[in-house]
Amino acid sequence: MPGAPPRVVARGATAPLLEARGIRVEIAGTPILHGADLTAQPGRLVAVVGPNGAGKSTLARVVAGLQRRSGGSVRWHGEELRRLHGRRLARLRAFVPQRPRVPEGIVVREAVLIGRSPHFGPLQRLSHGDRDACERAMERAGVLAFAERPLTTLSGGELQRVQVAVGLAQETPLLIADEPTSALDLGAAAAMAQLLRDLADDGLAIVLVVHDLALAAAVADEVVVLSHGRAVASGTPEQVLVPARLREVWQVDADLEQTTAGRTALHVTWLRSRREAPRA
């Protein structure tokens, strides 16, 4: 999918598509982030995980240009985010919100067409190319079959797929999805995970904010762990989601199992005997 050309920074190397360093955010005087890092490259899926209140969604909104930061740097293709506005930024990243607005009277096709707005001016009409891009986006996201249905009639899983289709219609090189599986049943969550993994395999950069650690391990090339507003670990799921870190960050006794067949499971000690002393 088209995007801005990469800036060459060294012989044989290019700047990361997205590079955020030392992000700090304060909201109403309360520190939310104070040392968060995030990097994204084409063809890779980065999962951002952490406990409630760790700052995951805030970090996603900062790098998307939707939340002001009080410190740190965000660069797209090596260019500082503050220099990117309006359509230039909208052509670099698409953002799938956790709780999308569902306006009355809008059908799926009309919603997806909104994703083309960065590609034409306020007085321009949709071209055949714009409509073709929307058809491709709906087909890729699996929503073409209900393109004429009102948004208000859709299930949670269907609505999240529509939001992905809107993002795909933007034809950006990176898609940020903020908790797209949080309100979905098992089947819909698995379908969304497969869609995002397939998009990364097709060359998109994907940043996925997610609570489900087993899902993150199944789909991610890299996992970034946030805790108390800081990025405390990053690496492959096997490197990062180890029992010691699960105990340190989530305060649980747990271990992650991954099989060669692509199955993942998180084994958690839910209850302890009252006689059992807590681990040090």
Distance CA 245, CA 213 (A): 12
Read off φ and ψ for residue 96, nearest 5 degrees. -100, 110
Q: How many other CB atoms sit within 10 Å of the CB of residue 175?
A: 24
For the chain, give every domain's residue range.
12-237
pLDDT reported for residue 275: 63
CATH architecture of 12-237: 3-Layer(aba) Sandwich (3.40)
pLDDT reported for residue 10: 38
DSSP state of 260: T
Q: Is the pTM of this model over 0.95?
A: no
pLDDT reported for residue 120: 76
Distance CA 131, CA 257 (A): 44
Which tokens hold the place of 228? 């108390």
Distance CA 18, CA 94 (A): 13
Radius of gyration of the chain (CA): 20
pLDDT reported for residue 71: 96
Distance CA 215, CA 99 (A): 20
Q: What is the pLDDT along the chain (280 residues), one digit of tens a residue?
A: 444 334 333 333 456 899 999 999 999 999 999 999 999 999 999 999 999 999 999 999 999 999 999 999 999 999 999 999 888 999 999 999 988 788 889 999 999 999 998 887 666 777 889 999 999 999 999 999 999 999 999 999 999 999 999 999 999 999 999 999 988 999 999 999 999 999 999 999 999 999 999 999 999 999 999 999 999 999 999 999 999 999 999 999 999 998 877 789 999 999 876 666 555 5
Distance CA 165, CA 135 (A): 9
